[in-house]
Amino acid sequence: MNTISTDFKIQEALDALGVKAINLGTSTGANSFANGPSIDSFSPVDGQKIGSVVCTSQEDYEAVMTAATAAFPVWRTMPAPQRGEIVRQFGNKLRDLKEPLGKLVSYEMGKSLQEGYGEVQEMIDICDFAVGLSRQLNGQTIPSERPGHVMREQWHPIGVVGIISAFNFPVAVWAWNTALAWICGDVCVWKGSEKAPLCSIACQNIIAEILKENNLPEGISSIINGDYTVGEMMTTDTRVPLVSATGSTRMGRIVGATVAQRFGKSLLELGGNNAIIITPTADLKVVVPGAIFGAVGTCGQRCTSTRRLIIHESVYDKVRDAIVGAYGQLTIGNPLDENNHIGPLIDHDSVNTYLAAIETAKAEGGTVLVDGGVLEGEGYESGCYVKPAIIEAENHFEIVQHETFAPILYLMKYSGGVENAIQKQNGVAQGLSSAIMTNELKEAEKFLSYAGSDCGIANVNIGTSGAEIGGAFGGEKETGGGRESGSDAWKVYMRRQTNTINYSDELPLAQGIKFDL
């Protein structure tokens, strides 16, 4: 790296994570170099350049894939519980480095310090989950219709898993994928976001040390750096049977089609347009913090961020006034200051998208309840700090139908029964996260029923944001249909095999077919 900002003691964090003041590149080793052009990492916190990272060239990519494919036969033959032991060591190392890694996440991405620590905690949690799972990669025994036969189902490692992650969760989403892939016997190649490249280098340093200590091939974990052209190297590569991609719906369409064309598998976790339904019986003590954190947490840059509040007309004024009043108490500023609720957007392009969305909403007939805008002056020199906005709108507005990755919350009314609210909630192209605030059992059950929310996540009396690793994470429709993290999401990282064993002295055929010679 050419220069490193020393504000907020970020240098100490970089030192603790082994991110040195050199042009760190890509590849399998923690300190390998790359041959491509460089990209700069600027912090949205203060606009300072943190460093420069060399991008992956085609030559570098081939070196990465050579190492990964060579490591796979070694890794997959280790018993799964032994692979789990490596993941356990990785999780323990994350515990030791939670503070510096969380600080780097906060500074490079711009989320609050507590959210930065929370993201590292998610990594630790998925490691714990994966360690237990390493002893439970169970198949099943299936009754055979033929005497003297037994059928079994087994799960085998799939190979090299390509991971493309987004800037908003620069380390946790990688860990969701890689911890499970590792215990399944896969090796991983990770393209982190070019907007937060130092986070991926830091994580690679940590796992590279663990692999070295255990005398394991470094190709078990590899990173590549750069823009979408580097990601294309993986999506078109038949040596990568699974590509897990997190990002926009536009990106997912390209990745999904490209991988499918070569008959690969893709795990897509894409955009969200998440709503909270607020019914007449909803408790405001639950509604207000749930809605506000969902809308402004990570400055509205979560795929699970709350974009829409669908409020029953009988309580609309009360809820609106409570939400608007609470927005007046929010503090915006340096996210490493724990007194602040909201940090910056990731970059100036995101700021421009945010401003354009507000103008579009007004042009479509929306009424601004809380003004947005860019903050200026001392502490806001990066130009990435914006004010969370609230706009009264209609669900059919074109801008409401699209995800804007920024703190803009749309309020709208519904009348009649909860079915009408569910129809509005489902009336967008995305299907990630949803929630209902109600103390009425029947409303909650209707929301959770087959005729209720069409999202992959449906919550009652909590917001749309803040998933736990124990449950499968992902959504339907334009969210992509992928599932990461908990439950049985591990199966996507493996290939299923059905076995039939004949232990008799005869060869009866299925369906009673006779073939006599």
127 is catalytic: no
DSSP-H helix ranges across 306-451: 316-327, 348-363, 418-426, 441-448
Nearest to 495 by CA among 141, 153, 245: 153
Assess contact for 190 and 163: CB atoms under 8 A.
Answer: yes
Which one of 119, 269, 478, 484 is the catalytic residue?
269
Nearest to 287 by CA among 459, 43, 402, 120: 459
Which one of 303, 403, 443, 478 is the catalytic residue?
303
Q: Provide CB contacts within 8 A for 215, sequence distance 6+.
A: none
| The 3-state secondary structure of 153-164, one letter per residue | EEEEECCEEEEE
What is the rounded distance in angstroms from the CA atom of residue 368 to the CA atom of residue 361? Answer: 9
Q: What does the DSSP 8-state code read for residue 25? A: -
What is the rounded distance in angstroms from the CA atom of residue 189 to the CA atom of residue 263? Answer: 19
What is the rounded distance in angstroms from the CA atom of residue 341 to the CA atom of residue 333? Answer: 8
Nearest to 345 by CA among 292, 296, 299, 308: 299
- The dihedral built from the CA positions of residue 334, 338, 340 and 342, taken in this order, carries a sign that is positive
Tokens representing 62 are 């081939």
Nearest to 83 by CA among 241, 221, 199: 221
- Cα–Cα distances in Å, from 383 out to 21, 345, 398, 409? 26, 9, 28, 21
Q: At 192, give phi and psi (nearest 5°).
A: -75, 175
199 is catalytic: no
Q: What does the DSSP 8-state code read for residue 276? A: E
What is the rounded distance in angstroms from the CA atom of residue 440 to the CA atom of residue 206? Answer: 48
Three-state DSSP state, 166? coil
Tokens representing 344 are 């910056």
Tokens representing 24 are 């760190």
Catalytic residues: 269, 303
